[in-house]
Structures are given as C-alpha cells and as structure tokens.
Structure 1
Amino acid sequence: MIKRILVPLDFSSYTETAIQTACRYAKFHQAEVTGMVILDVPGIEHSIGPVPLGGEEYAKRLETHKLKQAQKHIQMLLERFRIYCEKAKVKHREAEFQGSPSSSIVEEALFYDVVIMGLRTFFQFGDSNEPGKTLDHVLAHCETPIYGVPGTFNEPNWEKQDLHVLVGYDGSQLSITAMKRFIRMAPIDKIHIKLLMSHFDEATAKGVLQKAEAYLQACGVKKIEKAWTPQPIIEAVEETHGKWADIFVVGAHSKKGLFDFMVGSLTKWLIKHGQKPVFIGQQ
C-alpha cells in the first residue's frame, strides 16, 4: 500500500499522463497526490548567458522578467493539476520549490512512496522543445521508486481487463527489490505478471523464477507466468514479450549512474524506447 505520490509538473503531455496515472493509483490506495512545481532559477540565469561590460542592469531586468514569466507558468501548472485532481475526487496538495529541478525532486522524493513523472522531461526554461536530463539525474540519485510514463498511453481499465506486467528478472537483489516495490503499489487482484529471465541455462532460470513466483503468490497475485529465454533480454522484449506488456518493472542502482548489467541495460532501453510505462525500483 502507498500513501503519498509525488508528481513533478512541467508543460508537456508527459505530465498529463503522469497526473492521470497518479490519480488512478491514489484512488485505489486512498493516497494523496502532490503536484510539485520548480522555479528553475539556475536555468533562468544560465539562459541569459554572458553579460557584457555595462550590461549588468539590462541583464538584471531580463532575469526579473523571466522569473515573473516562469512564476506565471508555474501557477498555470498548479491550476491544471488542481482541476484534474478535484474532478477525480483525489486528495491532493501543491508544493513550490526553487532551484535545480533534479535536485529538488530527489530531496522531496525521500518523503514519498513513489514518484510518477514523464519518461521525457521539460523543466528547462526557454523555448527549447528538446527534453532535458532531469530523469537521468533523478535516477542516478533517488532511492524512491520512479514510475516513468510516456506522453500518451491508455492504461487498461482495471475493472474490465487485467493489467499485463512484465518483470525483467534475473534473481539479483536489484530485480527482487524492483518487483517487491511494485507489488506495494499494484492492484494485486487486477494484475497478470510475467517474469522474464534471460539465461544460458534453462534449468537454472526455472529454479530462480520459481522463487519469485512463490513470493508473488504469497502476496496474493493469482495470474503469474514464468518465461525463460536464451536470447539477450532486450532482444526478447523487443521481438516477443514487449508487445504483451502494459507496464514494465525493472531495477536501477541509485547513486551509481545508469545502470547495472542486463536488467540495467533493459532499463536504459525501455526509457529510450519510451512507449509504455516503466516502474523503476531503485536500490
């Protein structure tokens, strides 16, 4: 069970998906959603660029103008978040921060059960349409699970059909942690889990997968599949198993950069592919 969900807000379709997803899980768990906005002061200062001799006063006025503009955008974001949560009848709150977006998210995430944010982020100030590096930085330092969402995605209606969850599993502490953290959040009686393991030896893989299956059964999961493949994990997901999944569950090492061998390489590939939600259980 989860009680607090953090949603960092930016002006993108990814944030729209994140808010929708957060509200759905909040209703299921009777949890609270926090919409987080960040006034990127360092980014605004950087956007002004070098100040020529005698241009200090102009630069100061420009910075003040950009700060006011950013504040206006922030209030618009909060209003959109508030309206959606009220329509969904979800308990919510708003939080405003100043500073680096990635650092602010990492620090605030310590007090939440999960962070739901876009697989692409657009926190940077200015007119650039290119995604920023905030997610990479958050993953490198945040110990709270991250639920990354694409820009457009319609998650299955839990009341009408199962939620297909593909777990990239290798028996490591990393993959076990990711699986256990997802189970805390998942609608247990609505999910169909497939445990996928890439290994050269089928007998070894089956033994490892059986232990994971036993844990999931103890947690109340009714629909569980075990899948072994001798293929590299990314090839197996791309060619066969990825089409089946609605959500991917994988692991990542926080404070060690991106990422560990095998499961970590799958994590990087899924984020880059960016078509379906990815639950990333940090360790």
Structure 2
Amino acid sequence: MKKILVPTDFSEQAENALKVAAQLAKAHGAEIYLLHILEIPLNEIDPMSSRSDLPEAVFFMKLAHRRFENIMNSSYLDGIVVHETVDFNEIFKGVFHACNKHNIDLVIMGSNGVSGLKEMLIGSNTEKVVRTSEVPILVVKKEHLSFKVNNIVFASDFQEENKSAYKKAIAFAEIFKAKVHLLLVNTPNKFITSDLANKRMQNLASSTNFSNFTSNIYNDVTIEKGIMNFSESIHADVIAMSTHGRQGISHFFNGSISEDLVNHAKRPVITFKI
C-alpha cells in the first residue's frame, strides 16, 4: 500500500478520512493524493482567455488551492508526501480517473454515516464511487485518533465469484495482522443450510494460505442488520464486502445493501471489486 487517494470537499467528514490516511501513510511509507472535484465542465473554462463563460470556476479553483494550503499545514501530515489535485468531472468519474492515473492502491472517503459524503459525495454518488472503483474503497464515519484494525468481518454469500474479492480482503487483513471473521447472514427470505454455508466458506478459505479466520452463520431479519449486529457483537474494526463493479453489488448484496451499509454502519466499511 504505497498510494492512497482521499477525495475531499474540505468537510469534517473528509478530514476524518484524511487523518486515517495519514496514519496509514506513516505506518506503511505511503503517499497521499488529495483530490477535490469541481463538478463544472472543463470545456467551459479557457484559462488562456480573458473571459470565461463560467468565471465562478476560476474563483472555486483558487478557493480550493487556499484550502489545500490550510490542510497542508496540519501537524498530522508532517513527514508525509501529499499531492494536491483538482479535477473538473462528475465525482465518481474523477475518483475513477485519479485511481488509474496515479496507480492508487486504496481510496479512503469520509462519511457522516447517514446520507453519504456530506456536500461532496451524497446520495447515489457514494454508491457510484463504491460500485465503479477498481481499487478498494474504505469509508470511515468518524475521527479515529488511533486507527487500528484487529478484527475484520468479511460478509458474503461465499459463492465462487467472490473468491477474488476474498483474496483482496485477506491481503488487506495481512497488512494489519488482523483476524478475519467470515460471515454469512441467514434471513427468512435468503436461507441456506448450515452445512451448505460452511462448505461455501471453507471453499473460499482454501483459496489462500491465510489461517487467522473464523467461520460464522448469523440469523437476522435482514442481511444489513445481521452484518451490523454481528459486527457489534465481536467489536469489529472494519466491515468488508465485495462489489460487482458496474454490474452493481453481487447477488448477496443486491439492491441498495452496499450503500445502506456505507451509510448506516457505525464502523468503517471497505469494499473490494469482484
């Protein structure tokens, strides 16, 4: 983990994400790419011209750089290489392009835990960023003075297609030397036998040499509640899950379950593309 991208709208939530990124950067010798998105069409702005159809764009560009300067003076960034970048794009496209351009290993986003990323990443934008990203997305809800990851819940239906995401989750866990708790949630509408559930979990687990894990079947009224309640019961530090990229969430996390967890779970959530 050498390059971390942090999208920012300069809100408190975005700074919470940056503080987590700073801790990881110091611990692993990583660089931080701080990205601010201006949702103004780039072709509307001609910096070589004395006039502009959108003069407010120039104002917001200068404002962004002033805010960058204030952030750079934060003591928690001392000793870290931080790159500032401003992009004109839709938010999820800007994050996607920045990841490709800079070969990003991890994206860390801040969330207020209710309606997505305040001001910058709200509503469907959060789900779009999570769904379209090729790299892992870590969403944090609050300030972490000491970001430690000892226990990770990897929630899935453990179908074969989740194997690649599982391997990525294991690689993330190994960075922190964390224990992984495999979790399959049974609900009245999505029920499988314990025997089948255990076979699925063991099949994925056997795809790596990682041995620091537990297998768990949890019954609840919904998948989302089951994940959150189980995570609470073991005091998990992070909830991990897989996504299908542009195809949406895997058929375990169908509909809006990914966005619901990103918005509603108290704990940090990390997603890995299948």
Asked if 1:72 corresponds to 2:68, the answer is no
The residue aligned with 2:94 is: 104
The verdict on how the C-alpha distance between 1:182 and 1:79 changes in structure 2, with shifts beyond 3 A counting, is farther
Asked if 1:114 corresponds to 2:97, the answer is no
Asked if 1:281 corresponds to 2:262, the answer is no
The verdict on how the C-alpha distance between 1:135 and 1:245 changes in structure 2, with shifts beyond 3 A counting, is same
CA distance in 1, matches of 2:202, 2:65: 50
CA distance in 2, matches of 1:73, 1:24: 27
Asked if 1:167 corresponds to 2:161, the answer is no
Deviations 1:234-254 (Å, cap 9, x if unpaired)? 232243434522211011111
The residue aligned with 1:209 is: 201
Cα offset for 1:255? 1.2
Q: Identity of aligned pairs, percent?
A: 22
| Match 1:176 to one of 160, 163, 168 | 163
Cα offset for 1:206? 1.6
Deviations 1:55-113 (Å, cap 9, x if unpaired)? xxxxx88941x224312331133224423477442232222222322221111212211
Structure 2: tracts of 5 or more residues without a match: 45-50, 187-191
| Match 2:179 to one of 188, 192, 208 | 192
Contact 1:10 1:77 in 2 (8 A): no
Asked if 1:226 corresponds to 2:215, the answer is yes
Deviations 1:196-238 (Å, cap 9, x if unpaired)? 113521111122222444456x24x63x221113444323224
Amino acid at match of 2:32: V
Within 5 Å, which residues of 2 pair with 1:117-156?
A: 117-119=109-111, 120-122=116-118, 131=122, 133-150=124-141, 152-154=142-144
The residue aligned with 2:189 is: none
Asked if 1:16 corresponds to 2:6, the answer is no
SS in 2 for 1:226: strand
Structure 1: tracts of 5 or more residues without a match: 46-59, 125-129
SS in 2 for 1:154: coil
CA distance in 2, matches of 1:235, 1:78: 38
Contact 1:167 1:195 in 2 (8 A): yes
The verdict on how the C-alpha distance between 1:27 and 1:184 changes in structure 2, with shifts beyond 3 A counting, is farther
The verdict on how the C-alpha distance between 1:121 and 1:239 changes in structure 2, with shifts beyond 3 A counting, is closer
Number of aligned pairs? 253
TM-score, normalized by length of structure 1? 0.76
Amino acid at match of 2:153: L
SS in 2 for 1:96: strand
The verdict on how the C-alpha distance between 1:238 and 1:36 changes in structure 2, with shifts beyond 3 A counting, is closer
Contact 1:6 1:34 in 2 (8 A): yes
Structure of greater Rg: 1
Query: Per residue, is there more helix in 1 or in 2?
Result: 1
Contact 1:248 1:279 in 2 (8 A): yes
Amino acid at match of 2:261: L
Contact 2:228 2:265 in 1 (8 A): no
Cα offset for 1:34? 0.7
The residue aligned with 1:29 is: 28
CA distance in 1, matches of 2:127, 2:147: 30
The verdict on how the C-alpha distance between 1:195 and 1:202 changes in structure 2, with shifts beyond 3 A counting, is same
Contact 1:37 1:95 in 2 (8 A): yes
Deviations 1:118-174 (Å, cap 9, x if unpaired)? 2423455xxxxx935432222332222211121x1437554xxx6221110222245
TM-score, normalized by length of structure 2? 0.78
